[in-house]
Amino acid sequence: MGKISNGIGKGESENRTNRILCLEDSPSDRELLAALLEEEGIPCGFVFAATQKEFESALEQQPYDLIISDFTLPAYDGMSALALAQKTNSDIPFIFVSGTIGEERAIESLKNGATDYVLKDRRDRLVSSVQRALREGRDRAERKKLEEQLRQAQKMEAIGQLAGGVAHDFNNLLAVIQGNAELALLHLDNQDPKTAEFLNQITEASVRAANLTRQLLAFGRKHTMRLENLNLNDLIANLTKMLNRIIGEDIRLKCDYDGRPFVRADAGMLEQVILNLVVNSRDAMPQGGQLRLSTEIVTMEETNFQPYPETRDGHFICLKVSDTGTGIAPENIPHIFEPFFTTKAIGKGTGLGLATAYGIVNQHKGWMNVSSQLGVGTTFEIFLPVIPSPTNGTISAAPKATPRRGSETIFLVEDDDAVRQMTRQTLETFGYHVIEAGSGRQALEVWQHNHAAVDLLLTDIVMPDGINGRRLAELLQMQTPELKAIFVSGYSLNVISKDTDFFTKNENSFLQKPYSPQTLVGAVRRCLDQVPEAVA
DSSP 428-447: HHTT-EEEEESSHHHHHHHH
DSSP 462-504: S-STT--HHHHHHHHHHH-TT-EEEEEESS-HHHH-S-THHHH
DSSP 213-245: HHHHHHHTT-S----EEEEHHHHHHHHHHHHHH
User: Helices H, strands E: what count in the chain?
Assistant: 15, 17
pLDDT digit string, tens, across residues 460-484: 988 888 898 989 999 999 999 989 9
Q: What is the pLDDT of residue 289?
A: 93
Q: What is the pLDDT of residue 382?
A: 93
Q: What is the pLDDT of residue 506?
A: 46
Q: What is the pLDDT of residue 338?
A: 72
Pick the more confident residue, 102 or 319.
319
Identify the CA nearest to 219 among candidates 312, 338, 320, 335.
338
Q: What is the pLDDT of residue 457?
A: 95
Q: What is the pLDDT of residue 40?
A: 85
The answer to whether domain 18-121 and domain 409-528 are alike in fold is yes
Rounded CA-CA distance 32/121 in Å is 11
pLDDT digit string, tens, across residues 214-269: 656 655 555 556 778 889 999 998 888 878 888 888 899 999 988 778 899 888 78
Q: What is the pLDDT of residue 393?
A: 40
Domain ranges of the chain: 18-121, 147-219, 228-385, 409-528
- For residue 369, is pLDDT > 80? yes
Rounded CA-CA distance 92/66 in Å is 6
- For residue 397, is pLDDT > 60? no
Q: What are phi and psi of 514, to 5 degrees?
A: -80, 155
How, if at all, do strands 409-413 and 456-460 pair?
parallel
Query: H-helix or E-strand containing 270?
Result: helix 267-283
CA atoms within 13 A on the CB side of 235: 29
Q: What is the pLDDT of residue 298?
A: 87
According to CATH, the topology of domain 228-385 is Heat Shock Protein 90 (3.30.565)
Q: What does the mean pLDDT of the chain come to?
A: 81
Amino acid at 213: T
Identify the CA nearest to 458 among candidates 508, 398, 389, 411.
411
Pick the more confident residue, 330 or 346.
330
Lowest pLDDT segment from 221-230, 344-353, 354-363: 344-353
Q: What is the pLDDT of residue 55?
A: 93
> What one-character DSSP code corresponds to residue 451?
G
Mean pLDDT of 302-322: 70
DSSP 335-402: GTTSTT---SPTTT--S-HHHHHHHHHHHTT-EEEEEEETTTEEEEEEEEE-BPPPTT-PPPPPPPPP
> Does the 147-219 domain belong in CATH 1.10.287?
yes
Query: H-helix or E-strand containing 149?
Result: helix 123-187
Q: Which residues 6+ apart lie within 8 Å of 220 measured at CB?
A: 156, 157, 159, 160, 161, 162, 163, 164, 359
Q: What is the pLDDT of residue 458?
A: 95
pLDDT digit string, tens, across residues 127-153: 889 999 999 988 888 888 788 777 767
Report for 58-62, 184-188, 521-525: range of highest mean pLDDT: 521-525
Report for 14-23, 290-299, 326-335: range of highest mean pLDDT: 290-299
Identify the CA nearest to 78 among candidates 44, 57, 108.
108
Peptide bond into 330 cis (omega under 30): no
> What one-character DSSP code corresponds to residue 87?
H
According to CATH, the topology of domain 409-528 is Rossmann fold (3.40.50)
Q: 285: exposed, middle or buried (C-beta count within 10 Å: 0-12, 13-18, 19+)?
A: buried
- For residue 14, is pLDDT > 90? no
How, if at all, do strands 314-323 and 377-385 pair?
antiparallel
Secondary-structure percent of the chain, ordered helix, strand, coil, rounded to 5:
45, 20, 35
Rounded CA-CA distance 335/123 in Å is 43
Do residues 237 and 253 lie in contact, with contact meaning Cβ atoms separated by under 8 Å? no
Lowest pLDDT segment from 156-165, 297-306, 379-388: 297-306
Q: What is the pLDDT of residue 499?
A: 54
pTM of the model: 0.50
Q: What is the pLDDT of residue 220?
A: 52
Do residues 203 and 288 lie in contact, with contact meaning Cβ atoms separated by under 8 Å? no
Mean pLDDT of 478-503: 74
Identify the CA nearest to 530 among candidates 408, 432, 418, 444.
408
Amino acid at 371: S
Q: Percent of the chain beyond pLDDT 90?
A: 28
Rounded CA-CA distance 335/176 in Å is 36
Q: What is the pLDDT of residue 346?
A: 45
Helix axes 193-219, 267-283, angle to 10 degrees: 100
pLDDT digit string, tens, across residues 55-103: 999 988 878 999 999 988 888 988 999 999 999 888 899 999 887 777 7
Rounded CA-CA distance 518/403 in Å is 6
Q: What is the pLDDT of residue 398?
A: 41
* 18-121 CATH choice from 3.40.50.2300, 3.40.50.300, 1.20.1430.10, 3.30.70.100: 3.40.50.2300
Q: What is the pLDDT of residue 20?
A: 92
Q: What is the pLDDT of residue 73?
A: 87
